[in-house]
Structure 1
Amino acid sequence: MATVKVKFRASSVPTKEGTLFYQVIHKRVARQINTSYKLYPYEWNTPNAEIVFLPDIGNNRRNYLASLKDTLHENTNRLKGIILCLERTGEDYATEDIVKHYLTSSNIEGFISFTRGVIQQLEQIGKQRTAERYTTVINSFGRFLGENDVLLDEVNSNLIVRYENFLKSSGVCPNTSSFYMRGLRAIYNRAVEKEMTVQRYPFKHVYTGIDRTTKRAVPLKIIRQIRELDLTLYPMADFARDIFMFSFYTRGMSFIDMAYLKKKDLHNSILSYRRQKTGQKLFIKWEKPMQEIIDKYDTGNTPYLLPIIKDMNLDERRQYKNAAHLVNDKLRKLGEKLELAIPLTTYVARHGWASIAKSKNIPLSIISEAMGHDSEKTTRIYLASLDTSAVDKANSQILKAL
């Protein structure tokens, strides 16, 4: 029967970290499986093939080593599980077969390989946004696993709790961690539905809620400062600022909705659009500062109102995503220049509009209508019979205060 060992390969530079690898031997044929796990020579006990915890190491290093120890234990058990599966078939197998199953999960399904298959299917049926979400989630989970796969049957509560701790130690905020967890749970449930594994409820001990965001709004004076920045010599930062201000002027319109605004959506001084997130139709009275931004840019070769999707021969969604990354990167730097306490993004414009509207004593029902919050039961109550002219009046009031 095949054997599995964990071995350490020292760096050619004595003071630098070396790497760990798994050695699989079957019928006197040895193969190596490399990892990205790093250790200093004094942290590895070669005779016992185990990690050494020195008494004077810091908490961060101790936590890293403890997590690595658990990972090594799980991965060796996984390799042993693959060997047992191959033994039970009663057929002859080679060392390469063990390594192949471990790395690609061929015939023995792994969580990452299963997810890649789901993503491919989603792309084929046109569900691009869900595919992109799953890709983001599985890339993060893959970094946690050291780019190795894990069997579907090995996705349990202990593994997911370790992943949550990994995210926390990486500085990931609770809402982002929850986003990853909810994505993984959706993928896992797909595997359960296909009867590829049994339901073990691995996410019952991790956070999957959504914390209320409280620190994304900025006061009116900060919005003024952003508007009045002289960015003549910095066209990309100027463009990012214009997108931020356009979002604010339009009651906190989201970036994706701005990207897909078309010229035909503006008619008789009314801008109408359907929210990408909820499908709700919104109407905005066209104001002078909105037109001033539109007049700055040449969009003659596209049907779009803003210069976000600029080349009709290229993938529109990829252009939108690239632009979103660029704009938020430039906004973050502007926020640092203004010494803001929070990262500046296009979403701050949305929160800022709502916060300022509330400070102007504009009723919650009008704020809810203005921002298209029809997905919440409480908001729907407020929106039951609201005249949209009140929303336009509220927006005009805020723009005049600016």
Structure 2
Amino acid sequence: MATIKVKFRPSSISIKEGTVFYQIIHERMARQISAGYKLYASEWENLFSGQSVSEDMERSRYLSNLKQRIQEDTFRLERIISELEGKGYGYTSDDVVQLYRSALTTGGFFTFAGQLIDQLHQVGRHRTAETYTTVLNSFRRFRKNREVLIDSIDSELMMAYESYLKNTGLCPNSTSYYMRNIRAIYNRAVEKEITVQRFPFKHVYTGVDKTVKRAVPLDVIRKIKSLELTIRSSLDYARDMFMFSFYTRGMSFIDMAYLKKTDLSGGVLTYRRKKTGQRLLIKWEPVMQAIVDKYDTSETPYLLPVIRNHASDDRRQYRSVAHAVNTNLKAIGQKLGIPIPLTMYVARHAWASIAWSKNISLSVISEAMGHDSESTTRIYLASLDSTMIDKANHIILKPL
């Protein structure tokens, strides 16, 4: 009878997640199926031990759901093997793999993407699920809701989709956003060995152009902080959220929303980035405490007044508040005559660019912001105000 082993392949990069795969062995013939699930080596070691896998509640929920998904997959494999055994004739490990994949690929690309989105929600990766939902809906509109087989995804189809996106008025960075995420879904199908890699995105743009500067200098941050606003108004609240992000080294709003009071201990704020899972520690400063003290959060476990209602969906509350905050920040930006739309994202870019202008090293900025690599930090710094470069050029040319 065929046997199933659940195995883990760690990443060659220590700070990145490894992958889970299933090994099917029958009559000394072993085959592998990529599960498509990711976690860190330390988490894998404790996943089935019954011990607490993570101190972070959101990460713990993700790992608990991931464990359940693995158990469901292995049960599905066991049922396939049992059915093959019951038929009374020979089969191979390849037969098991093929039947397992067939169960996943009923339908086409839309069906597979929908299943993937459901899985992502179940394991707590809501942000990725929402992104995939957005791009899938766009791709559906392009296809006029006609399903397409995964094996039929080719370069011609992707070039046609890119033209469709351009005709809707999207800029290259926006079309690239859709292409990169459709590619991510397609690559998940390749990882699961549902289809073979045909490189359908080789003739479409999937890069990131240098964007319009989204950082503001320190004097603008001072103006935002000192702007006269009605206390505890919607504009004042938006300004507080912006400043808290800046004070905490450009913390993203989703990470701010889920901060717990228990994350603050001994004068240090500890949290794990939703985007990367990286754990960060921030020395608690009086300006941060002043914002926390300003709002009553006694009825919730959260540090900031973003998620307030336990009976309502926390993710929906976060999205609603994020939208309102960004709308109000743009109004503040207009009051101050700031030439770019003011959003929470500007606080993150501003912290990085101001740190860079103060001659803080790239490695320190990268670590402070929780980036996976310094190349990500360089993308932030690529949009620095050109006046810095102009000043450098002036210094060089002056002695001539």
Taking structure 2 as the reference length, what is the TM-score of the superposition? Answer: 0.61
SS at match of 2:315: helix
Q: Aligned letter for 1:376?
A: S
Matching residue within 230, 234, 242 for 2:228: 230
**Pair member with larger Rg:** 1
RMSD: 2.8
**In the TM superposition, what are the counterparts of 1:146-185 in structure 2 within 5 Å?**
146-185=144-183
Matching residue within 135, 138, 141 for 2:136: 138
The percent identity for this pair of structures is 62
Contact 1:244 1:349 in 2 (8 A): yes
SS at match of 1:309: coil
**In the TM superposition, what are the counterparts of 1:237-276 in structure 2 within 5 Å?**
237-276=235-274
Distance in 2 (CA, whole Å) between partners of 1:297 and 1:353 is 24
Distance in 1 (CA, whole Å) between partners of 2:130 and 2:192 is 22
Q: Report whether the alignment pairs 1:358 with 2:369.
A: no
- Do the aligned partners of residues 167 and 271 (structure 1) sit closer, same or farther apart at CA in structure 2, a change above 3 Å counting? same
Distance in 2 (CA, whole Å) between partners of 1:195 and 1:271 is 42
Distance in 1 (CA, whole Å) between partners of 2:212 and 2:366 is 17
Q: Give the structure 2 partner of residue 79 of structure 1.
A: none
Unaligned runs of at least 5 residues, structure 2: 1-104, 378-400
Unaligned runs of at least 5 residues, structure 1: 1-106, 381-402
Matching residue within 105, 117, 126 for 1:119: 117
**Bigger RCO (CA 8 Å, 6+ sep):** 2
- Do the aligned partners of residues 192 and 378 (structure 1) sit closer, same or farther apart at CA in structure 2, a change above 3 Å counting? closer
Deviations 1:133-166 (A, max 9, x none): 2112102222333444444454332221222223
Shift of 1:172: 2.8
Matching residue within 373, 376, 383 for 1:376: 373
Deviations 1:150-205 (A, max 9, x none): 44454332221222223233343433322221221122234456666564422111
Q: Aligned letter for 1:274?
A: R
Contact 1:256 1:276 in 2 (8 A): yes
Contact 1:109 1:152 in 2 (8 A): no
Deviations 1:281-300 (A, max 9, x none): 32222222212211211100
SS at match of 1:301: coil
Distance in 1 (CA, whole Å) between partners of 2:292 and 2:208 is 36
Q: Give the structure 2 partner of residue 14 of structure 1.
A: none
Q: Aligned letter for 1:185?
A: R
Shift of 1:254: 1.0
Contact 1:365 1:379 in 2 (8 A): no
- Do the aligned partners of residues 338 and 311 (structure 1) sit closer, same or farther apart at CA in structure 2, a change above 3 Å counting? same
Distance in 1 (CA, whole Å) between partners of 2:271 and 2:155 is 43
Matching residue within 317, 320, 343 for 1:319: 317
Shift of 1:349: 0.4
Deviations 1:233-287 (A, max 9, x none): 7822221111111001111111111111111222232222222223333222222
> How many residues matched?
273
Matching residue within 287, 293, 304 for 1:289: 287
Distance in 2 (CA, whole Å) between partners of 1:350 and 1:195 is 38
SS at match of 2:281: strand
SS at match of 1:335: helix
Q: Give the structure 2 partner of residue 220 of structure 1.
A: 218
Worse-matched range after superposition: 242-251 or 261-270: 261-270
Deviations 1:205-243 (A, max 9, x none): 111223354611111121122222233178222211111
